């Protein structure tokens, strides 16, 4: 019921027609089974291995092979060696008015503690032109199918405050606080302008953003940002960025994410659920894998993808490698309808099985019409009980 209420509120708060329709038809269709969106491929030695295995690559190092939907990576509000461009000294010499500072007026608004990627002013039209001529246009000309913009946020997480003019006059833009209405307005304006530019580039050019819903800023602004793109990579997914303490999102937060996914799908926006787990990728447990895949199957439509990975011993995200799990190969078929509530849990029927999710902190029971088996071969009939914060994929019915 709460998910329905949230969906209704979102529908009323959203303003239709404010952005071009997303180009869903350009993306690989996801009509049955599990479809993968590999996050980076810098550790894949032969990119031909991706063919027939992954549909989309976020941040591919090459526009080839053409059988894969390869996307070009670039940060959205910083520039530096990782983006393939310039360091701070270059900006200080040629474009000092593009550098964003914190409120002490001397510290660049470094993001994630990274002192190589330079924070730049996304409200400056000259900066937008620099991004487009330096990253967007060359990527499409090279054959990439889409541009990925990383780390969008409605929160001023780098505590930006302002910049200097070329004559060294201070220009105050933001409060330097996490919640700043002017910053949110600039992020939305940047996204809408960039989205329009990419759609004007060609009839097949697309845009993707890395953004996870931030409910503290309200449904309207979240929806406006998440529909100013063709695809949303939800890096948080249902695993809370791989948090060790709560890597299975439940309760109201789960319902908010599900409601937003449904709203995006009605708009035609493609969606990618990222599942990060706190341990090494090769040690992600079956229960953790089923939580990610069951949620994907519960919420997916014909332009929805999923990926799973963990962390290295040093705490780095273990992206870039083709981590493949048996749950990706479960032959569950095509969905027969939408997700349906059942007691504390949710289920969805497929042509060859069921996706079950219990997004609560207590156990949940599901009635079964027939006999099903899980991926281990265990059979269930009559009912199945799922522990708190868990998912299951059942195949069948079997005879």
Nearest to 365 by CA among 350, 351, 380, 352: 380
List C-alpha distances in Å: 98 to 41, 94, 163, 165, 180: 31, 9, 7, 8, 20
What is the tens place of the pLDDT at every residue in 228-248? 999 999 999 999 999 998 899
Which segments of the chain belong to CATH 2.60.40.1180?
A: 336-399
The pairs formed by 377-386 with CB atoms below 8 angstroms and a separation of 24 or more are: 384/356, 386/345, 386/356, 386/357, 386/358
**Average pLDDT, rounded, for the chain:** 94
Nearest to 6 by CA among 250, 222, 258, 248: 258
CATH number for 2-75+131-154+183-329 (one of 3.40.1350, 3.20.20, 2.60.40, 3.40.50): it is 3.20.20
Residue 17 has pLDDT above 70, yes or no: no
Q: What is the pLDDT of residue 10?
A: 52
- 3-state class (DSSP) for residue 205: coil
CATH architecture, domain defined by 336-399: Sandwich (2.60)
List C-alpha distances in Å: 142 to 59, 81, 153: 14, 20, 28
Structure tokens at 392: 């299951």
List C-alpha distances in Å: 34 to 14, 371, 377, 398: 30, 23, 19, 21
Instruction: Say how far apart CA 44 and CA 86 lie, in whole Å.
Output: 27
Average pLDDT, integer, range 131-141: 96
Confidence grade of residue 84 (pLDDT, cut at 50, 70, 90): confident
What is the tens place of the pLDDT at every residue in 182-199? 999 999 999 999 999 999
Residue 41 has pLDDT above 90, yes or no: yes
Which segments of the chain belong to CATH 3.20.20?
A: 2-75+131-154+183-329
């Amino acid at each position: 019921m709460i998910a329905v209420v949230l969906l209704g509120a979102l529908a009323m708060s959203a303003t239709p027609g404010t952005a071009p329709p997303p180009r869903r038809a350009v993306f690989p269709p996801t009509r049955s089974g599990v479809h993968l969106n590999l996050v980076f491929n810098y550790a894949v030695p032969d990119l031909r291995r991706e063919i027939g295995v992954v549909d989309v690559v976020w941040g591919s190092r090459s526009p080839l092979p053409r059988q894969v939907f390869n996307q070009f990576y670039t940060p959205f509000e910083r520039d530096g060696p990782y983006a393939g461009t310039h360091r701070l000294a270059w900006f200080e010499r040629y474009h000092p008015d593009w550098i964003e500072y914190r409120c002490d007026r001397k510290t660049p608004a470094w993001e994630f503690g990274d002192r190589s990627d330079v924070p730049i002013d996304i409200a400056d039209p000259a900066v937008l032109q620099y991004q487009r001529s330096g990253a967007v246009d060359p990527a499409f000309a090279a054959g990439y199918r889409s541009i990925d913009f990383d780390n969008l946020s409605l929160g001023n997480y780098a505590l930006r405050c302002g910049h200097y003019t070329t004559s060294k006059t201070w220009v105050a833009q933001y409060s330097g606080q996490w919640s700043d209405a002017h910053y949110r307005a600039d992020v939305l304006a940047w996204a809408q302008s960039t989205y329009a530019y990419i759609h004007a580039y060609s009839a097949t050019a697309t845009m993707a953003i890395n953004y996870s819903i931030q409910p503290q800023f309200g449904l309207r602004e979240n929806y406006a940002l998440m529909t100013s793109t063709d695809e949303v990579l939800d890096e948080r997914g249902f695993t809370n960025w791989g948090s060790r303490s709560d890597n299975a999102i439940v309760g109201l937060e789960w319902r908010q994410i599900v409601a937003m996914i449904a709203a995006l799908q009605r708009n035609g926006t493609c969606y990618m659920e990222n599942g990060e787990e706190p341990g090494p990728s090769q040690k992600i447990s079956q229960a953790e894998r089923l939580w990610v895949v069951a949620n994907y199957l519960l919420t997916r439509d014909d332009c929805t993808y999923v990926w799973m990975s963990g962390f290295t011993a040093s705490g780095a995200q273990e992206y870039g490698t083709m981590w493949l799990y048996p749950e990706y190969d479960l032959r569950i078929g095509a969905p027969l309808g939408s997700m349906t509530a059942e007691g504390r849990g949710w289920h969805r029927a497929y042509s060859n099985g069921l996706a079950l999710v219990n997004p609560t902190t207590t156990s949940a029971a599901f009635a079964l019409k027939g006999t099903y088996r899980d991926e281990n071969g265990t059979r269930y009939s009559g009912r199945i009980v799922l522990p708190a914060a868990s998912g299951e994929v059942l195949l069948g019915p079997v005879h």
